[in-house]
A and B are shown apart, each in its own frame.
Chain A
Amino acid sequence: MGELNKLGLAEARDALRVGDVTSVELTEACLAEIEGAGALNAFVHDTPDIARAQAAAADARIAAGDAPAMCGLPIGIKDLFCTKGVPSQAGSRILEGFLPEYESTVSQNLLDAGAVMLGKLNMDEFAMGSSNETSVYGNAVNPWRRGNDTAELTPGGSSGGSASAVAADLCLAATGTDTGGSIRQPAAFTGITGIKPTYGRCSRWGVVAFASSLDQAGPMTKSVRDAAIMLEAMCGHDPKDSTSADLPVPNFEAMLTGDIKGKKIGIPKEYRMDGMPTEIETLWADGAAMLRDAGAEIVDISLPHTQYALPAYYVIAPAEASSNLARYDGVRYGHRAKLDHGDGITEMYEKTRAEGFGAEVQRRVMIGTYVLSAGFYDAYYNRARKVRTLIKRDFENVFATGIDAILTPATPSAAFGLGEASDDPVQMYLNDVFTVTVNMAGLPGIAVPAGMDGQGLPLGLQLIGRPWEEGDLLNTAYALEARAGFVAKPQKWW
Chain B
Amino acid sequence: MSIDESTAARVAKLARIKVEPEALPALAAEFNTILGFIEQLSEVDVEGVEPMTSVTPQRLKRRADVVTDGDQQERVLANAPDAREGFFAVPKVVE
Contact with A along B50-93 (1 / 0, CB 8 A): 11111110101101000000001001101111100000101111
- One of A357, A390, A441 near B17 (C-beta < 8 A): A357
Q: Are A336 and B82 in contact (CB under 8 A)?
A: yes
Q: Are A387 and B80 in contact (CB under 8 A)?
A: no
- One of B8, B30, B44, B52 near A305 (C-beta < 8 A): B44
Minimal beta-carbon separation of A369 from chain B (angstroms): 4
A302 to B54, CA, bound (A): 24
On whether A311 and B81 interact (CB within 8 A), knowing A322-B15, A345-B93, the answer reads: no
- One of B12, B60, B63, B90 near A366 (C-beta < 8 A): B12
Contact with A along B26-39 (1 / 0, CB 8 A): 01001101110111
- One of A198, A366, A390 near B56 (C-beta < 8 A): A198
Q: Are A333 and B51 in contact (CB under 8 A)?
A: no
Q: Total number of A-B contacts with CB less than 8 angstroms?
A: 164
On whether A331 and B60 interact (CB within 8 A), knowing A345-B91, A348-B91, the answer reads: no
Q: Are B37 and A200 in contact (CB under 8 A)?
A: no
Q: Are A312 and B88 in contact (CB under 8 A)?
A: no
Minimal beta-carbon separation of A333 from chain B (angstroms): 4
Write the chain B residue with the least CB distance to A200: B56
Contact with B along A191-234 (1 / 0, CB 8 A): 00000001110000000000001000000000000000000000
Q: Are B92 and A344 in contact (CB under 8 A)?
A: yes
On whether A311 and B78 interact (CB within 8 A), knowing A344-B93, A349-B16, A385-B52, the answer reads: no
Q: Which residues of the partner chain B approach A277 to less than 8 Å between Cβ atoms? A: none
Write the chain A residue with the least CB distance to B45: A390
Q: Are A246 and B44 in contact (CB under 8 A)?
A: no
Minimal beta-carbon separation of A128 from chain B (angstroms): 13
- One of B15, B54, B91 near A365 (C-beta < 8 A): B15
- One of B18, B44, B51 near A351 (C-beta < 8 A): B18
Q: Which residues of the partner chain B approach A331 to less than 8 Å between Cβ atoms? A: 80-81, 88, 90
Q: Are B14 and A373 in contact (CB under 8 A)?
A: yes
Write the chain A residue with the least CB distance to B48: A386
Contacting chain B: which of A111-119, A155-163, A422-430, A482-490? Answer: A422-430
Q: Are B55 and A213 in contact (CB under 8 A)?
A: yes
Q: Is A243 an interface residue (CB 8 A)?
A: yes
Q: Is A67 an interface residue (CB 8 A)?
A: no
Write the chain B residue with the least CB distance to A351: B18
Q: Are A425 and B17 in contact (CB under 8 A)?
A: no
Interface of B is mostly: loop
Write the chain A residue with the least CB distance to B13: A350
Write the chain B residue with the least CB distance to A353: B17
- One of A98, A314, A350, A370 near B16 (C-beta < 8 A): A350
Q: Is A109 an interface residue (CB 8 A)?
A: no
Q: Which residues of the partner chain A approach B8 to less than 8 Å between Cβ atoms? A: 366
Q: Are B91 and A383 in contact (CB under 8 A)?
A: no
| Residue among B49, B55, B63 having the largest count of chain A Cβ atoms under 10 Å | B55
On whether A386 and B46 interact (CB within 8 A), knowing A348-B91, A366-B12, A373-B11, the answer reads: yes
- One of B51, B56, B88 near A385 (C-beta < 8 A): B51
- One of B3, B30, B90 near A348 (C-beta < 8 A): B90
Q: Is A3 an interface residue (CB 8 A)?
A: no
Beta-carbon contacts under 8 Å, A320-353 to B: 322, 326, 329-336, 339, 343-351, 353
On whether A350 and B34 interact (CB within 8 A), knowing A199-B56, A387-B44, the answer reads: no
- One of A345, A383, A387, A425 near B33 (C-beta < 8 A): A425
Beta-carbon contacts under 8 Å, A365-397 to B: 365-371, 373, 380, 382-390, 392
Write the chain B residue with the least CB distance to A357: B17
Q: Are B56 and A467 in contact (CB under 8 A)?
A: yes
Q: Is A300 an interface residue (CB 8 A)?
A: no
Minimal beta-carbon separation of A264 from chain B (angstroms): 23
A326 to B50, CA, bound (A): 27
Q: Are A334 and B17 in contact (CB under 8 A)?
A: no
Q: Is B2 an interface residue (CB 8 A)?
A: no
Q: Are A343 and B11 in contact (CB under 8 A)?
A: no
Q: Are A386 and B17 in contact (CB under 8 A)?
A: no
A424 to B30, CA, bound (A): 9
Q: Are B41 and A369 in contact (CB under 8 A)?
A: no
Q: Are A389 and B19 in contact (CB under 8 A)?
A: no
Q: Which residues of the partner chain B approach A332 to less than 8 Å between Cβ atoms? A: 79-80, 88
Q: Are B31 and A370 in contact (CB under 8 A)?
A: yes
Q: Which residues of the partner chain A approach B11 to less than 8 Å between Cβ atoms? A: 366, 369-370, 373
On whether A387 and B46 interact (CB within 8 A), knowing A239-B63, A366-B11, the answer reads: yes
On whether A389 and B18 interact (CB within 8 A), knowing A98-B79, A369-B11, the answer reads: no
Q: Are B88 and A245 in contact (CB under 8 A)?
A: no
A369 to B20, CA, bound (A): 18
Q: Is A460 an interface residue (CB 8 A)?
A: no
7 example contacts (A-B, Cβ-Cβ < 8 A) are as follows A98-B79, A243-B54, A308-B40, A308-B43, A344-B92, A367-B31, A425-B30
8 further contact pairs, Cβ within 8 A, besides A198-B56, A242-B60: A101-B78, A245-B56, A308-B43, A314-B37, A331-B80, A390-B44, A426-B33, A426-B37
The 7 A-B pairs of least Cβ separation, nearest first, read: A442-B55, A385-B51, A333-B79, A336-B81, A350-B18, A386-B46, A354-B18
